[in-house]
């Protein structure tokens, strides 16, 4: 927040995660998770795992941030609506959707069923390469009476 100050003190270690890609130079690029753990004393430990976050991973080539020609950030357009029912079926080419609930509750309905998200809740859905880089299937968002909420989504032009 602008104009605020403060600090946070952690008794235990802090961990940050990054998905990276390992290019073996022979045409195989493998995505993996790199975890940076900082101890309270400031010592940083790096651990590489598979995408499941537990299986150890050994780098075999050049490590870089993963890129996809179909997911260049400059090709996306951001949109937003507040306190208005939203349906994936009405927004072709949607790549990601984020729901933020400020007050009341919002029901998110997918093919798997309905989920009530209370005030303070945030959910994000994003596309995988398996669906061509856009979300597919059912996703409908509807607020309860008096709810205050926001939907932010990105689409491909």
Mean pLDDT, residues 146-151 taken together: 90
Tokens encoding 115: 């989920």
pTM of structure: 0.53
Contact call for residues 37 and 15 (beta carbons, < 8 A): yes
pLDDT tens column, 72-84: 444 667 778 788 8
Q: Residue 11: is its pLDDT beyond 80?
A: no
Rg (CA), the chain: 20
Q: Residue 2: is its pLDDT beyond 50?
A: no
Residue 99 CA to its chain's centroid (Å): 12
Contact call for residues 75 and 45 (beta carbons, < 8 A): no
Cα dihedral sign, 102-121-114-52: positive
Q: Residue 116: is its pLDDT beyond 60?
A: yes
Higher-scoring residue by pLDDT: 10, 51:
51
CA distances from 146 to 27, 79, 98, 108, 114 (A): 54, 23, 20, 16, 19
Contact call for residues 31 and 66 (beta carbons, < 8 A): yes
Mean pLDDT, residues 106-120 taken together: 91
> Which of 93, 90, 92 minimizes the C-alpha distance to 141?
90
């Amino acid at each position: 927040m602008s104009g605020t100050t403060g600090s946070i003190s952690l008794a235990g270690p802090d961990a940050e995660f990054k998905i990276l890609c390992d290019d073996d130079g022979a045409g195989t690029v493998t995505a993996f998770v790199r975890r940076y753990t900082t101890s309270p004393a400031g010592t940083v430990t790096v651990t590489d795992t598979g995408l499941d976050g537990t299986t150890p991973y050994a780098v075999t080539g050049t490590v870089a941030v993963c890129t996809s020609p179909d997911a260049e950030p400059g090709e996306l357009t951001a949109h937003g609506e507040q306190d208005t029912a939203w349906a994936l079926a009405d927004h072709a080419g949607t790549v990601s959707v984020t729901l933020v609930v400020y007050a009341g509750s919002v029901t998110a309905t997918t093919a798997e069923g309905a989920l009530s998200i209370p005030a303070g809740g945030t959910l994000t859905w994003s596309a995988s390469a398996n669906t061509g880089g856009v979300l597919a299937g059912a996703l409908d968002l509807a607020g309860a009476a008096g709810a205050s909420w926001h939907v932010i989504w990105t689409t491909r032009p």
